[in-house]
Every structure is written in structure tokens, then in C-alpha cells.
A and B are shown apart, each in its own frame.
Chain A
Amino acid sequence: MSDRLAVAVIELSDSFRAAWDDLAAELDVDRVALAPDDAPPPGAVAIILAAGGEEDRALDLLPSIPAGGTPVLLVGAAASHRFGIQALRQGAADYFALPGDLDILRRTLTARVEAARERGRPSGPVAPPADPFAELRGQSDALQSTLDAARRVLPHDQVTVLIHGETGTGKELLARALHEGGPRAGAPFVAVNCAAIPTELMESELFGHERGAFTDAHAAKPGLFEEAHQGSLFLDEIGHLPLPLQGKLLRALEDRRIRRVGGTRSREVDVRIIAASHVDLEAAVERGDFRQDLFYRINVVSLTLPPLRERGDDVQSLAGHFAATLAERYSLPVPQLDDATRTALRGYAWPGNVRELRHAIERALLLSEAGTLDPQHLIPRATGGPAGAGPIPFPATLEEIQAAAVRAALLQHGDNKSAAARQLGISRARLQRLLDRDDEEQS
């Protein structure tokens, strides 16, 4: 079936016939001929009831047209006030007297086409992108071997996938790529971070709830399973799912049906699950924190995203990519990575992985002179830490923590002691005493 938008035309007369093809071509939509008792095709933005000279017949027909919510635009030749009112009363969405109203008809259809285009992607299958993994940039062996495994899963849209990886390694990007590159592309991709939802709300978030199901359920609300129907549901940090809910999730996966909290009827859902975790779920199973049956159900295919520190030169290419895309976002010239910047990038372990790198580039881009990336702005840690701030030894004494806080506050306020003291909530004199003590210890 075509995904294109269309204008359906019921011709009661051949007046203005040439106009319909012209309008359809102008709007880049299909023109579909319709009999008066035909339902409009999917994608129809309006039904034109073409009735030049047959206006009275059109009035009789209007109530019986099976428009199913598609607006019927009656087009005639009679520029009569009273006739227009009659048409509306018979169910027309609007009446146009041609040729005088042709321009208004064109604008009406244009608005409907634009609204339809804004409202939705085509509902049918869409062509997968050339390389669904293009957003996961990097040529390191560690990354490429994961992507090779992911490519093999692409055609199998019923297979659940479990993605492992530290925070910030791109687990959601990989999940989205599996969705966009597979047979479910074009259907919804719903991502939810289980760690971000309070435990007591988790069930209603996933499965929805009916009004009054619990104290704060003032409105009935569809759940994320329903929103992901026919698409993919990405459950990030699935290890945070409370045990009772793990059982309900397992049942939903087995039965392919869910029931809203407080609801009485079950609803069919066709959802492919992609799960992710930064913790070792097998260990969680051994501890009894994660159900073994659910683990085996979701761990059909396991993919591991490597941390950035194990991806060699990927950090350089990613930094260049982020610099270019973020420069475009902020309308700034694209900066080049000079040797000092490259050295700073290499000399840091990036514990927050790609996400941390991206934030660091964004910060440096906005704080550096336009067209440059000053390494001193690549977050302090990336350049070995600001002079004077120093690392806190572990375990630190109270004095060491105080001294570090003072140094950090001074750094933040350009050595303005009053401002630093205000930030720390202490007097300027107390700040000076802490500084003096620190100096003594340093010497």
C-alpha cells in the first residue's frame, strides 16, 4: 500500500475536472477517484465532492458518504450564502464556489497536507538507513567487533537483545540503530531508563494505569508498552527493575499482552524488547536481585559496548565529529584539533565515556575563542587538573577536603576570596585561615 498522502475526489459532474489533477500535482499528493459509497483510502487528507451543476444532489448525498473522519469539501458553482449553510448542516466541512474560491480551496488543502505531514511519518515500513550504525562512530577493533555482531541481529526483529556497557558508551544509540536498521523501522522506538523512575511508579509507567488506580492516578494514562506497540521498547538499566515487576515483565513478554494498573481487560502488544545494563546481571542473578528466567528471556543475544579508554584513536575522531556538529548547532566556525588538544584528549581516561567527551567538547567550544578549542577548557581533569586545585588523596582527612574545597572555589571565582567565601558559606577571614593552614602544610 502506498504511504503517500492523497486527495480523494467524488465527481458528480465534470465541471472543473482539470483542477483536481493540477491541485494534486501542486501539493505533491495522489489524486484518487472515489465512488460516493467508497470509504476514503488511507492517507486521504480530504474528500472533494465535485458537484458543479449538481449541488442539490450533493446535498442529498452528503450524509451517506462514509468519510470516517476525513473532511468532505463540497465544491460547486453556486455562490449562494444559503446553499453553503445547507451544505454545512448536511455534514460538509466546507463549501467552495468555483472558480472564485479556487485559491481558498488550494490554501485549505495545503494546510491539511502540511498538517498531515507534520503529524506523522508514514505508517508502513520505511527503507532502513544506509548504515544504521553510522551514529556509533569509531574504527577501533573493540567497537567494530560489537557492531559486526549487531549487524547479524538486524533482520531478526523478535530477538531480544541485552546490551552491556558502562555509562555513556552509547547503549541507547546502539538500541536505536538495531530498531532503525531492522524490520520494525518506522514503528515507534520507546526508550526508558528504569533507574530514573521511582520504584512505586514503575509498573504504571510500563503498563499504564486507569483513572483512580492509585492515589495520584487522577487521569488514565497509556503505558510505554502500548506506546511501543509494533515497535521496540528499550529498557535501559533493566537491573533496576524491582523483583515483583520483573515477573510482570516476563509475563508480558511471554503472553504478549499487558493489563493497565487498575484495569480489567488485557491488551495485546507486539513489542520487541532491547534491554541494557551497566552492571553484571549474571552476578545480580546469583545474588537473587534479578530473576534468572527473565535474564535468560532477555539475554538471547548479548552485545558489549567497549569503554572509550579501550577504543584507541576513536577519542580523536569522536572529538572531531562532536566539534563539527556542535559548532553547527551554535553557529560557530568548526575548530581544528591542534596538537595540544589531541594530547589532552589522549591523556585522560574518560570515565564518563562518549557522553563525557561530548560535554567536554561542547564546553570547550563555547568557552574558547571562536574557531578554536582551547585545551584548558576541555574540563579541568582532561588537562591534568587546574593548578592549585590538586587531587584529594583517598582516604582524605577533613582538612584536606576543606583545602580542596577552598582551592576549587577560588579557581571558580578567579581568586576572588569574597566570592569564594560566599559560595562556601563561610566568612572571608575563615577562608583566609584555611588558606594559610594549607600553605603551611604545602611548605
Chain B
Amino acid sequence: MNAPNGTPTYSDPLRAGRRAVLGGEFLQARSELERVDPELRGSPEWQLLSAMASWRLGEFAHSRIAAMQARDQYRAVGDTDGEMRAENVAAAGAFALGDLTDAERGFSRALALADRLTDELMIGHCANNLGNVAYYLARYAAALGFYRLATVSFDNVASWKWLAGSWVNSTIVLRESGELDGARDAAERALAAAQRAGDQRIMGQALAACAETTAALGDLELAHVQAGRALALATEHHDPLGEAEALRVLCVVARASGEPDRAEREATRALAVAERVRHPWTVAEVQRELGELYRAVGRSGDAKKAYQAAAQAFDRLGAASRAEEMRARTNGE
């Protein structure tokens, strides 16, 4: 944008970049940030915005470095709020790169800063992220504790969408811990929060989590309907990650229903979507599911390949115990 006399105003690109990041337009944010005057590019805000955009574009290494530079600059000028946000993004970069130790350290520090600032929203985000780290490391009790803190914090500030997300995470962990009644309760809370948020994407994700719990409880007919609705919502609202997850759950339901062909079709579709959006966790989960499916129908060679692929994906994520579990299954085939 130009001033009335036609002279370009100095900070248009930075403002435009900030707007684009906040609006979820990350490619546009990148191009706006590249137009920023070189003198301002070293500013902590530029670094942080650049880190946020890069993370969303899957450039985790660059994101992590930029966020760490922003964090150091904010810390140097005593801007605790900025430092906390940058620390959280830096830790998210470490998390995505599979450096769970560093991620945990960063999220912990961000949580301590958020606690000091009584920033409930950030307490929620940091606690949720720490829950994810604990889940990857198969520390389920710790994960649930952090998700509990996250749900309380998000509820305190009426942030329904994030609240729904934390309940979805709780559902997954409870189900994997065999706490099926708790998982069903958490799924119900996720659905209620998603409905309150009016966000159909998170509604779809909550429904997928609910469907997998329903399947674990043995009601395959209902699970199939719920997963189908989750898939429809994800497709309608352009949520590829939700789509991959719903397809994976459909595969789980089909396998439990004794329909291996349909299960394989759903898993193959899920894998294609997860790989397209470069989401290694979903890739690993689908590969694991494929391994289980092939093992159940006696296709040992295919099962071994799927378990190996899952182990490699978990390795890249730093989820060592899960990778180990997959390797043990590989050796069992």
C-alpha cells in the first residue's frame, strides 16, 4: 500500500505478513516477509513471523532457527511475552524434527513463562504440546495430565476450538491406555466443544476419535457411521489431515468387521493423503494399521514391510519406544 504521495510506507510488508500469518495464509506471508526492508528483517517480530510461516509450510529446520533467534532477541530486551511465543514455536520446530528432548525443554520453558504471565491461552497451548511429547514417548499418564491442564486452561478462556483439540488428544491416549469409558467421555466432550466452536474441521476430527473408541467398545456398526461422517466433514471442509485420519479409522473398523479388502483400500487411501500433506505421524499410524491387517490375513511379507515403514516413520519422529515396538513386530513376522 502506498501513502497518498505515492511513497511506499515502510512497514507495509511486515504488517501484511503479520496479517497473513494470523489469517493462515502462509505462502502469502512468506512473500510479504521477503519484501520487508533488510534493516527490519533482524527484528524479533520478523523472525517470529517467519518462523511461524515456515513451520506451517513444513520447513521445520528454518522455522526452529528463526524462532530461536527471535526468542534470544526478545529475552535480551526483557519482552517475556515475545520470548514465550518464540520459545513455543522453537519447541514446535524441534518437535517436528523429532528432537523430543529439546521440544520438551522448550515447551516446559514456555509453560513456565506463560504461568508467570498468567496467560491461560498459552498455558493451554504449551500443556497440550507437552502432552503430545509425552504421548510420543508413550508416557500416557503424563500426557493425560498435560491434556487435563490444557483443557482446564482452554475452558477458562472459552477457547472452544483448542479445547476440542485437547479433548481429541485425551480420547486417543485414553483409548490406547484401554480406558474406554474415559475415552468415550472425552470424545463426547470433544464433540461438544467442537460444536460450541462451530468449527466443522475439528468436529470431524472429534468424530473420528469418537468412532475409533466406539469400534474399540465393539459397536462396529455405529463406528462405521461415525467414521463415515467424519470423512464427509473432512472432505467437505478441505481438511486433508482429518481425511487421512477418518480413512485410517474406517480401515480399523473394516478390519475389526472382518473385511480385509475394504480395510486395505481405506488404508491405502489414508496413506496417500497423509503422504501428500507430509504428516509423518499419520503415515506411521497407517503403516502400523496396515501391518496389523496383513498379519491378520497371513500376508507376512507385506506385514513386515508395513511394520518396517512404520518403525522408520516413528524413528524420524523421535518416538523410539514405538519404533522399537514396530521392529519387534517386524521380527515376529
Contact = CB atoms under 8 A, between A and B. Distances in A.
Contacts of B5: 79
B156 A227 contact: yes
Interface string A204-232: 11000001000010111110100110000
Interface in A422-437: 422-423
Contacts of A88: 11, 40, 43
Interface residues of B, number: 64
Contacts of B225: 366-367
A205 B145 contact: yes
Contacts of A423: 256, 258
Interface stretch (B53-61, B65-73, B105-113, B302-310): B105-113
A190 interface: yes
Contacts of A312: none
B159 interface: yes
A363 B115 contact: no
A221 B141 contact: no
Contact of A100 (B4, B81, B157): B4
Contacts of B12: 104
Contacts, number: 137
A192 interface: yes
Contacts of B153: 227
B218 A412 contact: yes
A72 to B, nearest CB: 13
Contacts of B19: 107, 111
A359 B157 CA distance: 29
Contacts of B328: none
B130 A227 contact: no
A79 B3 contact: yes
B155 interface: yes
B277 interface: no
A8 to B, nearest CB: 18
A216 B222 contact: no
B199 interface: no
Interface string A179-202: 000000000111010001110010
Interface in A59-103: 69, 79-82, 84-85, 88, 94-95, 97, 99-101, 103
Contacts of A69: 81
A251 interface: no
B7 interface: yes
Interface stretch (A113-121, A157-165, A240-248): A113-121
A189 B8 CA distance: 51
Given A100-B9, A111-B22, A118-B159, A94 B15 contact: yes
Nearest to B4: A100
Contacts of A418: 258
B141 A201 contact: yes
B166 interface: no
B182 interface: yes
A108 interface: yes
Contact of A221 (B111, B158, B195, B256): B111
Given A366-B226, A423-B256, A218 B104 contact: yes
B125 to A, nearest CB: 12
Interface residues of A, number: 57
Q: Main secondary structure on chain B at its contact with chain A?
A: helix
A70 to B, nearest CB: 11
B159 A97 contact: no
A212 B326 CA distance: 31
Contact of B108 (A118, A189, A220): A220
Contacts of A359: 184
Contacts of B265: none
A273 B152 CA distance: 16
Contact of A219 (B4, B111, B256, B296): B111
A237 to B, nearest CB: 12
B40 A85 contact: yes
Nearest to B256: A423
Contacts of A104: 1, 12, 15
Contacts of A412: 218, 220-221
A100 B1 contact: yes
B40 to A, nearest CB: 7
A119 B125 CA distance: 12
B37 interface: yes
B112 A220 contact: yes
Contacts of B148: 192, 205, 224
Contact of B10 (A81, A103, A192): A81
Nearest to A422: B258
Nearest to B120: A120
Contacts of A84: 9-11
B166 to A, nearest CB: 14
B189 to A, nearest CB: 10
A50 B2 CA distance: 20
B39 A97 contact: no
Contact of A201 (B39, B115, B145, B219): B145
Contacts of B7: 79, 81
Contacts of A366: 222, 225-226, 229
B257 interface: yes
B320 to A, nearest CB: 16
A4 interface: no
A88 B11 CA distance: 10
Given A88-B40, A190-B152, 20 more contacts: A69-B81, A82-B10, A84-B10, A85-B39, A85-B40, A94-B15, A95-B10, A97-B3, A99-B4, A100-B9, A119-B121, A119-B157, A201-B142, A201-B145, A205-B145, A219-B107, A219-B111, A220-B111, A222-B115, A330-B229
Interface of A: 69, 79-82, 84-85, 88, 94-95, 97, 99-101, 103-104, 107-108, 111, 118-121, 188-190, 192, 196-198, 201, 204-205, 211, 216, 218-222, 224, 227-228, 329-330, 359, 363, 366-367, 412-413, 416, 418-420, 422-423
14 contacts: A79-B7, A84-B10, A88-B40, A94-B11, A95-B10, A95-B11, A101-B3, A107-B19, A120-B121, A196-B182, A205-B148, A219-B108, A412-B218, A422-B258
